[in-house]
Structure 1
Amino acid sequence: MSAPRYAVFGQPIAHSQSPRIQSAFGKAHGIAVDYRAIEASPEGFPAALEAFAADGGVGANVTLPHKEAAFALCTTTTSRAQRAGAVNTLLRKGERWHGDNTDGIGLVRDLTGRHGLDLRGRRVLLLGAGGAARGVAPALLDAGILELVVVNRSPERADALVDAMSEPGRAISAYWEALREQGDFELIINATSAARGEGTGFNLPLSLINSMTTAVDLNYGEAAIPFLAWARAAGCRNSFDGLGMLVEQAAESFQQWHGMRPETDAIYAELRGRDALLVTAD
């Protein structure tokens, strides 16, 4: 019988900091963690996941572009995964997968705990409607924001995300081309992968900004540079990348797998202090 194994699935995945984070959590709790990064194409993901289970896999994280596919492969899911329609944390139960989504609670913990933001009563603009956006939208609403405006290049995806939230009046969709008509926001979240690997600038209307605006990119490292550069040039009060969210959602996953929630500040500080290329969000 193989020892319990854990992994993160994605494409690309070589960049992932998740093995480093999970290893640090395990070390802090005296647990030997066998956690690896597994590259899988969208077409090959289901087979790769089953091969992993057959080889002793009992838990996994899922990153781009597999979060919605992972949801479909689960026999049971948590209520927050159901609201999101996306899964980033898997737990093997017998011969089946149980799915959860820890992205949203990870983001809220990072923003409210690490950065001291009060999300209550805020207007929030969410750019993107894929698996990452789906993961954070429910948690933002639960955190007490006033209104969530979802904008996506494909309007039907934004409409589908808003419909899934079942929060008429609080969660609405809008056209990307009509951003100038949306007023200003206290929180702008980039959940798109538009800047990944392109090295191009990020451009949004300055009318979205007010004196309290915080900008957050769910990507981290190089992939977050274009959006954060725009945020700073536009005069946003705060701008953060997704590294803190990554660490916090990883802690939630670790707790589900091992029954204890690790302290996150040490590994966050270690990763934040490195100048190595930390690219794209998990």
Structure 2
Amino acid sequence: MTILAGVIGDPIGHSRSPRLHGHWLRRYGIDGQYVPLHVRPADLEATLRLLPRIGFAGINVTLPHKEAVFALADTVTDRARSVEAANTLSFRDGGIHADNTDGIGFIASLRQGAPGWPADRPAVVLGAGGAARGIVAALLDAGVPHVRIANRTAARAEALAARFPAAEAIAWDATPAALADCGLLVNTTSLGMAGQPPLEIALDDLAPEAVVTDIVYAPLVTDLLARAAARGNPTVDGLGMLLHQAAPGFAAWFGATPEVDDALRRAVLG
């Protein structure tokens, strides 16, 4: 019997997840299908109730639904509960089980793309949505001493920072000055994504050894990454996080633990 899974978002056309899971399905010879589903916020709950009834084993969740699906889940993992956001849902035992693999995917990508990154310095995170929640928690778990969170809507940054003793909210326009002693700059916003406004953050005060990473992967090299690389900073694109965060969901739905390797990266880039 064909196993069904997919990814939901609004928009969803940019997602590389179908290529990613399609590669793994072919590689491991699994009878499965993974499909993109454009779901608007008003239709989210009805969609989540429908999918298991038509045979879906689970779904990935992208913008803007990560916080909303957490609230609709019947059971949640500790790492999803710690940030009140989810990116991976499994439908089993008549309920919705929510997990958040953003953080572990981000750290795995960072360690692979920038081994030896200065984790003993503060980090600056741009954005305060569902992905930012998982990333802030993962950075602190990895030993980063302090995380500064900047968001265009200040209240959201303040709410996220309040969840962690070692995090603080900073004003959006204070970001350039906050980079002076940091070892990592992370963009979790949609700014810089194809079809979205650019991310206009000055990097003049960033130390040359500080790593710059962007969870946007369409385009693969965002303007932020290009500007950072031009001044000599190490950079990590957003594709690695996508690849690593996908593995737990694939294992849960399709019953095989997949490998994240160069062949997968080439397949997803197409």
The whole-number CA distance in structure 1 between the counterparts of 2:71 and 2:206 is 37
The whole-number CA distance in structure 1 between the counterparts of 2:94 and 2:257 is 26
Alignment of 1:138-157 (within 5 A): 138-157=137-156
Contact residue 121 and residue 183 of structure 2 kept, 8 A: yes
Residue type of the alignment partner of 1:258: F
The whole-number CA distance in structure 2 between the counterparts of 1:180 and 1:37 is 37
Residue type of the alignment partner of 1:51: L
The whole-number CA distance in structure 2 between the counterparts of 1:223 and 1:11 is 20
Counterpart position of 2:160: 161
Gaps of 5+ in 2: none
Alignment of 1:37-186 (within 5 A): 37-118=36-117, 120-165=119-164, 168=165, 170-182=166-178, 183-186=180-183
Contact residue 123 and residue 148 of structure 2 kept, 8 A: yes
Contact residue 91 and residue 257 of structure 1 kept, 8 A: yes
Shift of 1:180: 4.0
Counterpart position of 2:211: 214
Distance change in 2, residues 1:224/1:65 (3 Å):
farther
Contact residue 124 and residue 149 of structure 1 kept, 8 A: yes
Gaps of 5+ in 1: 275-282
The whole-number CA distance in structure 2 between the counterparts of 1:131 and 1:10 is 13
Distance change in 2, residues 1:11/1:259 (3 Å):
same
Deviations 1:222-250 (A, max 9, x none): 275222233234x2421222111101111
Shift of 1:19: 1.4
- Please state if 1:241 is matched with 2:263: no
Contact residue 150 and residue 157 of structure 2 kept, 8 A: yes
Deviations 1:22-74 (A, max 9, x none): 12112222212221111000111111222212111121100011111110110
Superposed CA RMSD in Å reads 2.0
Q: State, as a whole percentage, how many aligned pairs show the same letter.
A: 37
Contact residue 10 and residue 65 of structure 1 kept, 8 A: yes
The whole-number CA distance in structure 1 between the counterparts of 2:35 and 2:237 is 24
Between Structure 1 and Structure 2, how many residues are aligned?
268
Distance change in 2, residues 1:236/1:123 (3 Å):
farther
Counterpart position of 2:19: 20
Contact residue 195 and residue 223 of structure 1 kept, 8 A: no
TM-score between the two structures when normalised by the length of structure 2? 0.91
Residue type of the alignment partner of 1:123: P
